[in-house]
Chains A and B, each alone.
Chain A
Amino acid sequence: MRHFVIPGDKILDRQMRIENAYVEAGTTHSAVLGFYDDERNSIIPLEGAWKPRIGDLVIGIVSSVGRNGGTYSIDLTEFISGLVVAGKFSTLDFKEGDIIEATIQDIEHKNLALLEHPKALKKATMIKIKPVKIARVIGRAETMIKQISEYTGCSMVVGKNGLIWLDGGNVALATDAILKIEREAHLSGLTERIKNMLEKESKR
């Protein structure tokens, strides 16, 4: 069962470490607005900023290049930036304004992420959605991404920081589908509804 919770709601009578919850006097309380799933013991937030984690795939824009080259600052969100440090034999050559995808290797001071495996993406459509809804855009085992790509022919890269890169195919339809997911992420049966929408619209 899913329950709507607001900050301060007691979710468990015992202590348990749950993301987006806190423990006080032997009981566990929600810290955010969201849904509490009592089978999986997890809180699904409805709003909120992205918190970087090691291993997250992110999309960013190169905001500055170090004086000797080789180090690049990347804008990930308004308040979290990334840093790419090229290795000794690296052939990276980014310019300011380039779009890149990379994985988070380490986090310093909670708002600086060290990135690894950077790859340049060509200039194409980028959309920004609420980071808490990204999990639904990806879907369980990437089903949602695959479904959208299949119907629209778009190649997609979905960054955990809320940026989505789209190229080729029916970008307009893919954008509509993603915005619909963002609006309705908290409702059940989402995959089915997106499928119906894509089927209907792609036939036009």
Chain B
Amino acid sequence: MGSSLNKPELLKNGKRLDGRDFNELRPLKIEAGILKNAAGSAYLEWGNNKVLAAVYGPKDAMPRHMADPTKAIIKCRYSMAPFSSIEGHGRSGPNRRAIEISKVTKEVFENVVMLEEFPGNEIDVFIEILQSDGGTRAAGITAASVALANAGIKMKDLVYAVSAGRIGEHVVLDVNMIEDNYSDADMPMTISPRNNNVLLLQMDGGFSKQQFKEAAKMVIDAGKKISSIQRAALENVYNDKKEDE
């Protein structure tokens, strides 16, 4: 993990280590509807992150005592594959970190899914990180959002998530693993694009008020691009079938 003693140089000639500008996203690719057994699914590649999201349900809530007769419940499981990372993630089942991310992801989707449509039922969201390179919770939420839409579950919005960070005086967008470990701040945000409501905001390190505003603006600007990629992924599922007529 990062420490101030062995901190590497994160900026070179005004660019980041991987050659990106401060407000530049890593290349993002999403494919929807790739798992046949799931009600909805999505595969996402975001830089070196590779994420698979699957949605099952709505189905009877199990165990029964968890069922809510007035609305559906969401169960979310974020997990990192043992081979996902250069560090020792995911080798011994869910750890504190995975449980926390599962919980915050669940709370994001509780705000957008129309739960009252399916009383007494549950909706399962599985997020599997196949390869990780920083910002996996954001990648997981972005993929799960597409998977939920692909399952035809009624939602108020198609949310996206992306992280912002700070390297010295500079606010940067979409931090990768090395920036995440050694930068001065890291802030994943989930936004509901129809009204720019913030559904998730976590922060490591700190921003000044001015930097925070700049980071939030960067996230919302980048969100337009992420949203359009999500939309294209969902639309592509149906375009492919048109071609093989």
Contacts and interface: CB of A to CB of B under 8 A. Distances in A.
B119 A110 contact: yes
Interface stretch (A43-51, A114-122, A153-161, A163-171): A43-51
B241 interface: yes
A47 B151 contact: yes
Which label, helix, strand, loop or mixed, suits the secondary structure of the B interface? mixed
A33 B60 contact: no
A119 B132 CA distance: 56
A109 B241 CA distance: 37
Nearest to A183: B241
A7 B158 contact: yes
B69 A109 contact: yes
A49 B152 contact: yes
A47 B155 CA distance: 13
A7 B153 CA distance: 9
A186 interface: yes
A184 B238 CA distance: 9
B235 A4 contact: yes
A152 B240 CA distance: 29
A22 B154 CA distance: 10
B156 A79 contact: no
Contacts of B112: 7
B118, B120, B157 pick with most chain A CB within 10 angstroms: B157
Given A31-B155, A79-B121, 18 more contacts: A10-B194, A22-B114, A24-B156, A24-B194, A29-B156, A29-B194, A32-B149, A32-B152, A32-B155, A33-B152, A33-B234, A48-B153, A49-B58, A79-B58, A79-B59, A109-B120, A187-B242, A187-B245
